[in-house]
Amino acid sequence: MEFFYTYKSIETALPLVDVENAKFAILGIPFDGTTSYKPGARFGPTLIRQGTVNLESYILDYDIDLAELNIADIGDLEVVAGNPLQTVKMGIETIRELKEANPNVIPIILGGEHSMTYAPVKALMPKSYVVFDAHLDLRDEYESNPWNHACVARRISELGVEIAEFGIRSGIREEVEYAKEKGITWVHAREYSVERFKEVVKDLPEPVYVSIDIDAFDLSMVPSTGTPEAGGLRFWEVIEALEWLVKNKRIVGFDIMEVAGMEIGDVTALTGAKLLFYFIGMMEKFGKP
């Protein structure tokens, strides 16, 4: 199947199937036009895919081999340089095309900056948005742009989607006040635990969209990201929370955003690649239908 707004990118190290037969479909959105400190997230989709070359397709702790699963990769979205809204609109259309081709497929978006997450959320319209992030992303606008990556959770909130945020350690008072006004729960990185995650998420309505802004992880694991923040989360404490989430809530989509970098083997991209493999593996092993 051909998609109007996509082009073929490098492929992961996994054998791939057609969209029509896929359980998971990868789409890269290489946009980084509003990142304010470090650029390079436009290379995230390519670097994450290339990082999978380094990984075994077999997930030891799950006894699942991703090479045996039905995974499609529809390439990267054609972005409109400097225009996040137009790029998001093309992303919405592409993900809707994807779901028309296979209503059961689970889209996995590789960013690109976090503003692009609005596209899968608008296309899939989950009841809840669960996000790991260093930043609240609840600004009404940033650098005079309401489609800046610092605003994505606010735009999602305006869709009426319930929101829970984890790993937070950066924001402004106005965002905290907005979260309080809208009943958005956010957990500071210092207060984060898997138990706290379960407490917050257990009553959220389904289905759920899960977003990972890679800067939620500690700076040591993800130095190549647009707005890095020290004091982040550890890998396995996020994986354990996601395993509980996919067992207990129906997941309609997933993304890994804000992976930047300029070279093959970038540490941040390798973190993203490992996370990609674990998410697919846990969905296969534990995913609630």
Ligand X SMILES: N=C(N)NCCCCNCCCN
Interface residues toward Mn ion, by CB under 5 A: 114, 133-135, 137, 213, 215
Contact residues: ligand X, CB under 6 A: 36, 135, 137, 142, 149-150, 226-227
Partner whose binding site includes residue 218, from ligand X, Mn ion, none (CB under 5 to 8 Å by kind): none
CA distances from 75 to 8, 45, 187, 281, 288 (A): 4, 9, 34, 21, 27
137 or 243, CB closer to Mn ion? 137
Partner whose binding site includes residue 249, from Mn ion, ligand X, none (CB under 5 to 8 Å by kind): none
Partner whose binding site includes residue 154, from ligand X, Mn ion, none (CB under 5 to 8 Å by kind): none
39 or 207, CB closer to ligand X? 39
Longest dimension (CA), the chain: 49
Pairing verdict, β 58-59 and 64-65? antiparallel
Q: Which residue is nearest to ligand X (CB)?
A: 135
108 or 151, CB closer to ligand X? 151
Residue 72 neighbours by CB under 8 Å, 6+ apart? 16, 17, 18, 19, 21, 22, 24, 25, 26, 105
Instruction: Tell me: is residue 203 an annotated ligand-binding position.
Output: no
Instruction: Tell me: is residue 188 an annotated ligand-binding position.
Output: no
Residue 63 neighbours by CB under 8 Å, 6+ apart? none
Instruction: Tell me: is residue 213 an annotated ligand-binding position.
Output: yes
Among candidates 283, 102, 100, which has minimal Cα distance to 207?
283
Does residue 209 contact residue 254 with C-beta atoms inside 8 Å?
A: yes
88-98 burial, b for 16+ CB within 10 Å, e for fewer? bbbbbbbbebb
Q: Least Å distance between CB 64 and ligand X? A: 33
36 or 193, CB closer to Mn ion? 36
Instruction: Tell me: is residue 133 an annotated ligand-binding position.
Output: yes
Helix (H) or strand (E) segment spanning residue 257: strand 251-257
42 or 135, CB closer to ligand X? 135
Give the residue numbers of the binding site: 114, 133, 135, 137, 213, 215
Annotated binding site for Mn(2+): 114, 133, 135, 137, 213, 215
